[in-house]
Structure 1
Amino acid sequence: MQEEVYLESVFKISGIPTYTFVEPKEYNQLLVSVRTPGRGVVIEGPSGIGKTTCVLNIIKKLPNGAEYTVLSGRKASDKKRIDELITSENFGNVIIDDFHKLDSHVKETLSNVLKTHADEERDDSKIIIIGINKTGKSLIEYSSDLRNRISIVKFESNNKEKILELIKKGEKALNIEIAVKDEIANDSHGAFHIAQMLAHNACVQSGILEKKEEKQVTTPSYHSLKENVMNDLELSFSDLVTKFVQGQRVKKGSRAPYLHVLYWLSKTDEWSINLEASLIHYPKHRNSVGQILKKGHLYSHYCKDERFSDVIYFNEDTTEISIEDPKFLFYIRNLLWTKLAEKIGFYSFDFTSPYDFALSFSGSKRDDAEYIYNKLSESEISVFYDFNEQSRILSEDVEDYLAPIYRSESVYVIPLLSNDYPNRVWCKFEGDIFRSRFGKNSIIPLRYSDCSVGMFDATNGVGGFSLDVSKPIESQLDIFIGLLINKIHERRIELNNSEQGLEE
C-alpha cells in the first residue's frame, strides 16, 4: 500500500520542512559551531533562507541528544523568559530567534553572558542567536573583545542549484514533476521559503494534493502561477504597502520619499539596504528621502503601525532597513510601481532633476528663503537651499558645485529679488548661470515691493509673485508657497500624461 504523503507536509508554507530540507553551504561550519561547548553561535542573514531550519536540523542529529529551548524576540511572552534566562546561573541550551527585536539592554546582557560562557568553556549552557544581517556586529559593539569568543555564521542567499534540489526532493516525495521549476528557482532569489510557496501553489492549481500513484506534471504556466500567488498576497499586503508609501499623508507635489524607500528595498539582492548609502546611489532623492531620515519622520511613521515591523525592520541608528517576511519581498518585487504611485496620487516616479526648486537670494533675505525651504520640504518637495548642503559643499570648488544646480539640476529657479540682490557677489554669479533659462519657463521671480522698477530687466514679462514689504511677509509667503506646490504638482501630472501618451 502506498504511503500517504500530503502536499502540505512536503512543500510547506510555514514550519520546518521534512521532505524538502536542503543543507545550505554554511551547514558544516554551523554544525561544528553548534557542537563546540560553551561557545556562543550567531547565525545571521536574510529571512526565509533557512537559518532556523538548518540549526534545528543539526540539533536533532546531535549524538548527545541535547535539548534546546527556542524563544523569539518577536513574542512578548518569550521576551520575558529571555530576561529571566540570561540572568540565571544555569539556563541550559537556548535558541534566541529574531534577536534584532530585543531591547538594547537585553542585547548588552547577552553579549556579556556569551563572553563569560566562552571563557569558562561551560558545557551545561549554550546560546544560539539567530538574526538578520549584521547581528554579530551589533553584539560586538557592546563588547569589542567578544569577536574571538563566538562563532558568527553568515548565511547568504541560496544559489539556484540549492533551490532546484529542494524542488526535486518535493517532486520525489509526491511523485510529480513541476513543469516550471526553473522559473521558480530563478524567481525565488535564493529564498527556500519563496520556493516552497510557489511550488505549493503550482501543485494546488494542478489538483495535486497528495502523493500520486502515477507521475503527474503540473499544468500552470509560470505567468499564471505568479499572477495567482500575487492575487493571494494582495489580500495580505496591498493595504500595508499603500499605508507605508503614503507616509504621514499624500502631499501635493511630493517626491514620494516613503515609496522610494520601499522601491529601493524591492530591488536589492541583499534583502536589506542602508538608506544613507542608498542616497549616494540615488542622488536625485537625496533631499526628499534625506529629509524624512534626518528629521525622524521615517522612524516615526514606521513605529505608528506595528504591522510594518512584521514585514520590515528599520534601525534608525544605522538607517538599515531589512525584509522580515520573504512573502512580502516577493510581493513588492513583482509590483507595478509606476501604477501604484499614480493610484495613490504620486504622478511622477522617475525624476530627471535632483531639485524641484533652487533658491537664489541675498543674505538679508535668508529668513524668507529658509521659510520657503522648510515649508516646501514639509511637502516632500526637493529644494536647493545652501545652508542645508554645507557639509556637501565643504572642500568642493563652490562655483563648480553651484553652477550645475542653477543651470540644469533644478526644475525651477526662484530668485528672491530684493534691493541688494544685484550687489551681492554670489547672487550675481547665480544670476549669470540661470540667465540662459529665461524664456524656458523655468524662472519664478519673487519680487519685493521696495525693489526699484526695471532693476532686473531679464525678469520683465516673467510671471512671478510680488511681496508688499509694508504688510506681514509670512502670510504672503504662504500664498506664494501654495502656488509653488500647485505648480510642481501640475507639472508632474503633465509629465505623467505625456509619458502615457508616448507608451500608447
Structure 2
Amino acid sequence: MEVIRERVLSDLSKSFFNKAKLFATGPRLRKEGRAPYFYLLRWLAAGKEWTLNVADAIKKNSEHRGSVGQIVDKGYLADHISKNPDLQDVIHFDPRTRELSIEDPKFFYYVKNLLWSKFCEQVGYRSVEFDSRYDYALSFAGSDREVAEGLFKFLSERELSVFYDVNEQHRILAASVEDYLAPIYRSEASFVVALLGSEYPKRIWTKFESEQFKERFGQNAVIPIWFSDAPPGIHDETVKYGGLTLDRGKPLGEELERIGLLLCKKIEEYKESSKALEPSG
C-alpha cells in the first residue's frame, strides 16, 4: 500500500505541485517572512473537511495572527487567488465568510499527504518554524508615531510579525497594560527596535519599555535607531551596539525603506542561523 501511495502522489505531483507552490509562496516568495500562505495551506490540509474558516484558524494559532491576519484583512489572499486561474481551479476563498476551500478532491488528497518539511524547502523557504511570537517589537515616543507606523507597514507587508501598539489596542483594552507589554519586550520578540527620537528619554511608557528590554542589549537583541536631529550623547550606552541612523533631512519614505530592507535582511539571516543550530534528525 505504501508503494502504491507513493506512486499516486508522484503522479499527482505532476499536476498539483506547481499549484501548491504558487499558493504557498503567495504573490512573491519572502524568505524573511512568516510564510502566511504556506500555513493556510497546511492548516487546510490538516483538517478533515475541505474547508477552513480562516478566522477560527487564526484564533487557534495566535502566533500567526499578525502575518496571516494581514493577508486576509488587506485583501491580499483574495487578490492572489483572483489573479491566478491555476489557483481558481483548486482553491476558493470567500472574503465575506472567510472560508477557504479546496475545489478538487485530487488536490485535497495531494496536499493531505505532503511531507511538509520537504515541501517547505522545495518551495524556497529555509524554515517555517519560529521561536518567537514577533520578529520585531517597536518602542517609540508618541511624537515619533509617523516613523513607527511607516516602519510597521513596511515590515508587515513583507510578512514579518511586528508588535506595534495601535495594531493591538483592542487586545489591550481592559487588560493591565504593563502586564501585557512587559513580556513582549522582554522575550516575545526576536528583536526590539528602539526609535530614539528627542522625546524618547522623557516619556513614561518608553522608560517602562526600555526597563523591560535593557538586559537584552547584551543578548544582541536590541537595535537602536538614532534620529539625526537627536544624536546620542557621549555617555549614551546604546552607542556600544550596532544600530542605524534615520536622517531627518531626507524624505521619510526613502529612509524607512532603507532601514526596513536592512531589518528584513537581519531577520532572514537570523532565521537562517537559527535553523542551522537546530539538531538534525
Instruction: Assess same fold via TM > 0.5.
Output: yes
Post-superposition Cα deviations, 1:228-281, rounded to whole Å, max 9, x if no partner, equal: 110111011011001111111112411111111001111112332211111111
Are 1:284 and 1:352, in contact at CA under 8 Å, matched by a contact in 2? no
- Please, which of 454, 457, 474 is the counterpart of residue 253 of structure 2? 474
Structure 1 segment 350-429 matched on structure 2, within 5 A: 350-429=129-208
- State the secondary structure of the residue aligned to 2:52: strand
Distance 1:240 1:463, change over 3 A: same
Are 2:140 and 2:194, in contact at CA under 8 Å, matched by a contact in 1? yes
Q: Structure 1 residue 387: deviation in Å? A: 1.1
Return the alpha-carbon distance in structure 2 between the equivalents of residues 248 and 341 of structure 1. 16
Identity %: 46
Q: Which amino acid aligns with 2:280?
A: E
Distance 1:241 1:305, change over 3 A: same
Structure 1 segment 153-168 matched on structure 2, within 5 A: none
- Please, which of 294, 297, 311 is the counterpart of residue 90 of structure 2? 311
Q: Structure 1 residue 452: deviation in Å? A: 5.0
Structure 2: segments with no counterpart, 5+ residues: none
Return the alpha-carbon distance in structure 2 between the equivalents of residues 324 and 415 of structure 1. 46
The corresponding residue for 2:122 is 343
Higher helix content, 1 or 2: 2
Structure 1 segment 50-199 matched on structure 2, within 5 A: none
Post-superposition Cα deviations, 1:153-208, rounded to whole Å, max 9, x if no partner, equal: xxxxxxxxxxxxxxxxxxxxxxxxxxxxxxxxxxxxxxxxxxxxxxxxxxxxxxxx
Q: Which amino acid aligns with 1:301?
A: H
Are 1:246 and 1:259, in contact at CA under 8 Å, matched by a contact in 2? yes
Q: Does 1:258 align with 2:5?
A: no
Post-superposition Cα deviations, 1:469-494, rounded to whole Å, max 9, x if no partner, equal: 33333322221111101001111222
Return the alpha-carbon distance in structure 2 between the equivalents of residues 453 and 477 of structure 1. 20
TM-score of the two chains, using structure 2 as the length reference: 0.95
Q: Structure 1 residue 455: deviation in Å? A: 7.6
Structure 1 segment 232-271 matched on structure 2, within 5 A: 232-271=11-50
Q: Does 1:332 align with 2:106?
A: no
- State the secondary structure of the residue aligned to 1:358: strand
Return the alpha-carbon distance in structure 2 between the equivalents of residues 317 and 395 of structure 1. 29
The corresponding residue for 2:216 is 437
Q: Which amino acid aligns with 2:269?
A: E
Distance 1:278 1:455, change over 3 A: farther
Q: Which amino acid aligns with 1:322?
A: S
How big is the alpha-carbon RMSD for the aligned residues of Structure 1 and Structure 2?
Answer: 1.6
- State the secondary structure of the residue aligned to 1:471: coil
Return the alpha-carbon distance in structure 2 between the equivalents of residues 472 and 455 of structure 1. 27
TM-score of the two chains, using structure 1 as the length reference: 0.54
Are 2:138 and 2:195, in contact at CA under 8 Å, matched by a contact in 1? yes
Return the alpha-carbon distance in structure 1 between the equivalents of residues 97 and 49 of structure 2. 16
Are 2:134 and 2:190, in contact at CA under 8 Å, matched by a contact in 1? yes
